[in-house]
Structure 1
Amino acid sequence: MSQLTKEDLIGIRRHLHEYPELAMHERATHDYLLKTIQSFNQQYIEIREIPKLPTALLVYVNGSNPKRTIGYRTDIDALPVSEKTGLPFSSKNPGVMHACGHDIHMTVALGVLNWFSEHQPADNMVFFFQPAEESENGGKVAYELGVFEGKWRPDEFYGLHDNPDLPAGAIGCRMGTLFAGTTEVNVDLIGKSGHAAYPQNANDMVVAAAEFIGQVQTIVSRSVNPIEGGVITFGKLDAGTIRNVIAGQARIEGTIRGLTQKMIEHIVDRLKMVANGVATSYGAEVKIHFNQGGYLPVENNDELTRRLIEFAKQDPETDFVETQPAMTGEDFGYLLSKIPGTMFWLGVDDDSQLHSATLNPKESSIPKGIKSITRFLEYRMNN
């Protein structure tokens, strides 16, 4: 296959959109990606599979005069969302949809890889087609498996995320944190159940849970610097079985968001203090469990990000937008905590938001994104 045309790219994107798969189950996606990559010019590239992470793919591109190895990552999984776009190429897998635009991400990555398979890069390159971004932190899993060792370890890593709020094909970025880190929090409160008419003989965990939730609201409002920001959201509360029985147990589930790892750790410490206080006040046992996994803040490297922004601002082919940080999570943050790099937005101009059942990114963003990214990477290799 020679250079992919716009029609080729749209065909690839629509096929990927029709057959979305959930985290760690992207088997058909893997096979389609592999088949597509095998159709490219193989003169400069080497394909690698990972038996312990079987839906992942890595592709090495040999540079003509390498000074470094540049990494490019795309995520490949979908979400458990039932599509409501009404598109002729809507998901054929019930209850699963590329509602976060990873079909766009993959298509752009294939376009960039295809370009460098036809136009040998100066530097070596590693393309990482990563499973399980939406859950199960595939980037962290790959790193801990030792995937990025030897020649497969990039000196710097790049990746994008589509953004419905930006014009189609625009590149958005900022210095510092692009995406927040996320930590799941589960709280179990254990007291003593009893008859509703005899509260003195029980220990009511509905009341204790209400007190805990109320006190937690003061963490962000009174313990976090307002210009730094943080979020605590409890989205689920389970307690009790029937109206006339005092609940002896309650479970609260939520999420913490912070723009730096330091902020997340600060919020975690304050949550523990509140939990200990409620336990003492109510004579209850309070168990609190945190799980961050690989969802660290996406903290862009200063030097590499400054170079990307400088290029995008002066490049006549790139529409650049300086963006604000977002409280959404992305497991590319884990890889950026190990390898310097930059994540940026690709505008896809849609009224629906990410994770929406009606998300319908503009396909005109694909060739524009490929052109901007390849031009930047070639600029990087020459500077």
Structure 2
Amino acid sequence: MNKVDEQFSEVQNWRRHLHRHPELSFEEKNTALFIAEKLRSFGLSVKTQIGGHGIVAELEGKEPGKTIALRADFDALPIHEENDTAYTSENPGVMHACGHDGHTAALLGTAQMLSKYKEQLKGKILFVFQPAEEKPPGGAKYMIEEGILDNVDYVFAAHLASELPLGQVAVGAGYQMAAVDKFEITIKGHGGHGARPNEAIDPIVIGSEIVQSLQKIVSRRLDPLKSAVVTLGVFQAGAAFNVIPDEAKIEGTVRTFDEDVRDLVEKEIHSIVNGIANANHANCEIDFLRGYPSLFNHPEETATVNDILKEVFNEEEVVALEPTMGAEDFAYFLKEKPGTYFRVGSRNESESTHYPHHHPKFDIDERALLNIEKAFIKIVSHYLVD
């Protein structure tokens, strides 16, 4: 692992280059070119334009064996960066505010390091660089549809975590991240004068009733031992204080772990919205978009990773991964193949590393990139060397 530490300056430079030049989901053309160039310089076989701007590099060992896929995402977010550093985003309104630049740099470092030891490998490694994690339908689904996992035995991914201190790694089996769905409700009433509401069908009043009723799905329709979130983020209607508008729009998100719960919540949204609209003589349209599935870490592979990482980090530094209602399209990989997703601490004493993901001042302790590398190399060693 000492050789990984010697890589720090180079991996850091890669991360900072990517941070300065972020690109949004499905638009990561130059990022993909940068990644592919580095991978080819390591002597790897590289395939590009997979499911969009996706890249897969292959490293085949001297002897046959299992095939492992290691995945990193590389898209950025539509956020204007507020940091003042030597590597601040040079693309106004676009920022690596979730650590994907770090994931990519760490996987590049892993590929560079392991390419020097192919003679010791019994099997094959696929280094998967995935675009568009931040924007459904996401890049994972498209890459998988092109067959990248057809001959893969195990899949693994790591994510930087600003809530964990540098040196900690969080591992956990079972459902760890939620399925994410989006819905849009358009209420079509009949506008009129604010002084004569009896002559109108007020979509604002109807929408308000819908907002309140949707909150009862979790509290009154769902088994209290199961989890779900229904959050409304948009309620738009009207343009004047004394005018009843024709339409109102509501947008929200649903987060669930269990597929049966996911189905139930969608069904209840349709039932409640249509019922209230009909009772108030209004029409409505519901557009329900199913996003990423829930992320399920396979118990056997997760237990293996938990045990072997204690050989890399101190035992007390390998902590339990806490489930979250956030979403991650690596879930598609884990629906296809066994494996696990874990988080790597990136917070230090500096306040600059304490901001949450998706914050305009998000930043990391870059030494965390080496911890991702060390974890990946240990996983590969377990399955393809030991």
Q: TM-score range by the shorter chain?
A: over 0.9
Q: Is the 8 A contact 2:19 2:95 kept in 1?
A: yes
Q: Which residue of 2 aligns with 1:376?
A: 379
The answer to whether structure 1 residue 24 and structure 2 residue 21 are counterparts is no
Query: Whole-Å Cα distance in 2 between the matches of residues 317 and 115 of structure 1?
Result: 23
What SS does the corresponding residue of 1:222 show, helix, strand or coil? helix
Match for 2:92 among 69, 91, 94? 94
Match for 2:177 among 164, 176, 179? 179
Aligned length: 374
Q: Which residue of 2 aligns with 1:358?
A: 361
What SS does the corresponding residue of 1:164 show, helix, strand or coil? strand
Query: Whole-Å Cα distance in 1 between the matches of residues 283 and 333 of structure 2?
Result: 37
Shift, 1:51, TM fit: 6.3
Query: Whole-Å Cα distance in 1 between the matches of residues 190 and 134 of structure 2?
Result: 38
Q: Which residue of 1 aligns with 2:35?
A: 33
Q: Which residue of 2 aligns with 1:130?
A: 130
Shift, 1:227, TM fit: 3.7
Question: Structure 2: which amino acid aligns with 1:366?
Answer: L
Listed as ranges, the gaps of 5+ residues in structure 1 are none
Q: Which residue of 2 aligns with 1:47?
A: 46
Q: Following superposition, which runs of at least 4 residues in structure 1 exceed 4 angstroms of deviation?
A: 314-318
What SS does the corresponding residue of 1:267 show, helix, strand or coil? helix
Match for 1:305 among 291, 302, 305? 302
Q: Is the 8 A contact 1:171 1:369 kept in 2?
A: no
Query: Whole-Å Cα distance in 2 between the matches of residues 315 and 20 of structure 1?
Result: 32
Query: Whole-Å Cα distance in 2 between the matches of residues 113 and 317 of structure 1?
Result: 25
What SS does the corresponding residue of 2:372 show, helix, strand or coil? helix
What SS does the corresponding residue of 1:359 show, helix, strand or coil? coil
Shift, 1:8, TM fit: 0.8
CA RMSD, Structure 1 to Structure 2 (Å): 1.9
Q: Deviations over 1:105-154 (max 9, x none)?
A: 0011111111221112322111111111111411112223x23265xx42
Listed as ranges, the gaps of 5+ residues in structure 2 are 348-352
Query: Whole-Å Cα distance in 1 between the matches of residues 205 and 174 of structure 2?
Result: 41
Q: Deviations over 1:225-253 (max 9, x none)?
A: 33432111111111123222212211101
Q: Is the 8 A contact 2:186 2:249 kept in 1?
A: yes
Q: Is the 8 A contact 1:67 1:123 kept in 2?
A: yes
Shift, 1:220, TM fit: 1.2
Q: Which residue of 2 aligns with 1:236?
A: 234
Question: Structure 1: which amino acid aligns with 2:128?
Answer: F
Query: Whole-Å Cα distance in 1 between the matches of residues 335 and 375 of structure 2?
Result: 25
Q: Pick closer, same or farther for the CA change 1:307–1:51 going to 2, 3 Å.
A: closer
Return the structure number with greater strand share. 2
Q: Is the 8 A contact 1:71 1:128 kept in 2?
A: yes
- Equivalent positions of 1:210-289 (< 5 A) are 210-289=208-287
Query: Whole-Å Cα distance in 1 between the matches of residues 50 and 18 of structure 2?
Result: 23
Q: Which residue of 1 aligns with 2:140?
A: 139
Shift, 1:219, TM fit: 1.0
Query: Whole-Å Cα distance in 2 between the matches of residues 273 and 183 of structure 1?
Result: 17
Q: Is the 8 A contact 1:178 1:344 kept in 2?
A: no
Q: Deviations over 1:256-286 (max 9, x none)?
A: 1112333222211111121122122212112
Question: Structure 2: which amino acid aligns with 1:128?
Answer: V
Q: Deviations over 1:87-115 (max 9, x none)?
A: 11101111111000101100111111112
Shift, 1:83, TM fit: 0.8
Shift, 1:68, TM fit: 1.9
Q: Is the 8 A contact 2:105 2:369 kept in 1?
A: yes
The percentage of aligned residue pairs carrying the same residue is 30
Q: Pick closer, same or farther for the CA change 1:94–1:316 going to 2, 3 Å.
A: closer
Shift, 1:315, TM fit: 4.2
What SS does the corresponding residue of 2:215 show, helix, strand or coil? helix
Q: Pick closer, same or farther for the CA change 1:149–1:133 going to 2, 3 Å.
A: closer
Q: Is the 8 A contact 2:295 2:328 kept in 1?
A: yes
Query: Whole-Å Cα distance in 1 between the matches of residues 228 and 218 of structure 2?
Result: 6
Deviates more, 1:166-175 or 1:76-85: 166-175
Q: Is the 8 A contact 2:20 2:91 kept in 1?
A: yes
Shift, 1:344, TM fit: 0.8
Query: Whole-Å Cα distance in 2 between the matches of residues 264 and 63 of structure 1?
Result: 42
Taking structure 1 as the reference length, the TM-score comes to 0.93
Query: Whole-Å Cα distance in 2 between the matches of residues 15 and 125 of structure 1?
Result: 25
- Equivalent positions of 1:137-216 (< 5 A) are 137-144=138-145, 146-148=146-148, 153-216=151-214
Query: Whole-Å Cα distance in 2 between the matches of residues 202 and 353 of structure 1?
Result: 45
